[in-house]
Structure 1
Amino acid sequence: MFISPEAVAQIAIGLIHGHVILYGPPGTGKTSLVRVLAKLFRTNIPQIWTANPEWTTFDVIGGLSPAIIGGKEVIMGKLGEVTGDMVRCIENIKNYDEK
């Protein structure tokens, strides 16, 4: 798969200035592009998620979920995939700034 250096540069600039959303039909190279960008920014990708129409708001953003802690049932907040990735990104930036 060929990814043009111009496309990588444009997306990298977009990431530096804000956010980028990659969209398109399956097999167009979105995941390959993300892997190239991760190397460019010297970061790793712990897991790649592919959204689908069956995802709910809970899957994307998160919400409250029952859990058992110390034998007691409690309600806890759970991050969705997007919010969880945002939190990890912020933690990576903080850790990088502290070095």
Structure 2
Amino acid sequence: MTRCNCPKCDADISDTYESADPSVGIMTGGFYCDACDLLVSDFDRDHFDDVSIPPARDGDRAIGTPASELSTRPGERGYEEWLRISKSWGHD
């Protein structure tokens, strides 16, 4: 049996495992902490120790264009920036 502790309260929640069951809409298996009302999915368990990567910066200026400022629809705000970025990646 796989051991798992709740990332919030550190309780042993190993005996709460339920596997994925797509037939009823449960697409990932995982553990559940009753005390914290917290689901710890198999995906989450694989990423507990991931390193957070902050946005790229050049001094005080953020590098890049937020997705909210882009549009793939001609005539909309952000379309020209979308074209510029696309062309910089070699797309016509």
User: Structure 1-normalised TM-score?
Assistant: 0.25
Structure with bigger helix share is 1
